Structure 1
Amino acid sequence: MKKPAINPESIITSSFAAKQFDEVLKKAKEGPQFIAENEKVELAIIDYALYEKMHLALELLQEVAWEAEIVRRIEHADAHPEELLSLVEALGNEAAERILKMDLNEVADDELFE
């Protein structure tokens, strides 16, 4: 995956950022500001609304990827039933027995899932 493009006008030195932090914050409201140390970008300062949007998008992508992996595994299991393991084979007698003895209604579903 390639790195995101950075507008050279958005790159500032760490010493400038330290001396002119108010100005950096104002510019960050307009677009990301990148702080460089020894000619290498080290930090990005972004508006919180943009951060929130990026965070939510990342969470959604992670959830979609997780769900796609679950579907892939189910499809693989359906196509190759000879590879399936019983609970005892997968966990051993003791752990399987503990799981089988669990009260499934002990924990409410809303406590298990977001």
Structure 2
Amino acid sequence: MVVKVLAKPTFTVDQLTSSSEASKKFGELRKKAKQVPQYITENGTVDTVLLSYSLFEDIYDRLSRLEAEEEERTLLHRLERIERDPESAKSWKNVRRER
């Protein structure tokens, strides 16, 4: 199985706002976030990301689908192993703890 590692998100300087500035211009940041995520910094390091609800829903839906697909792959793999070696069976509750 090949594991694809994603690169960290990239952003422009226009998307960066200090936390003190963000508190003063929150309404403006909310409007910008509907177009492109906004990154709020604390002591020069990105601390918080502000994004539109529709983008959040898209990310959440994709994550949910990927988790379900991974769970299904895990179950199928374990079922195949149990068919080959019935003594290797474990309860699903214990399997989930291992992850």
TM-score by length of 2: 0.78
Distance of 1:20 and 1:27 partners within structure 2: 11
Paired letter, 2:44: E
1:74 to 79, 83, 86: 79
Does 1 or 2 have the higher relative contact order (CA < 8 Å, sep 6+)?
Answer: 2
- Answering whether residue 14 of structure 2 is matched by residue 9 of structure 1, we say yes
Mapped to 2, the partners of 1:6 and 1:45 lie a distance apart of 13
**Equivalences for 1:1-80 in 2 at 5 Å?**
1=5, 2-80=7-85
Q: Are the structure 2 counterparts of residues 76 and 38 from structure 1 closer, same or farther at C-alpha, using a change threshold of 3 Å?
A: same
TM-superposed deviation, 1:66:
0.4
Give the distance between the partners of 1:47 and 1:56, measured in 2 at CA. Answer: 14
Root mean square deviation, CA, Å: 1.8
Please say which structure displays the higher CA radius of gyration: 1
Tell me, which stretches of 5 or more residues in structure 1 are unaligned?
A: 88-114
Instruction: Could you tell me which runs of 5 or more consecutive residues in structure 2 were left unpaired when the two chains were aligned.
Output: 92-99
Q: Percent identity?
A: 33
TM-score normalised per structure 1: 0.68
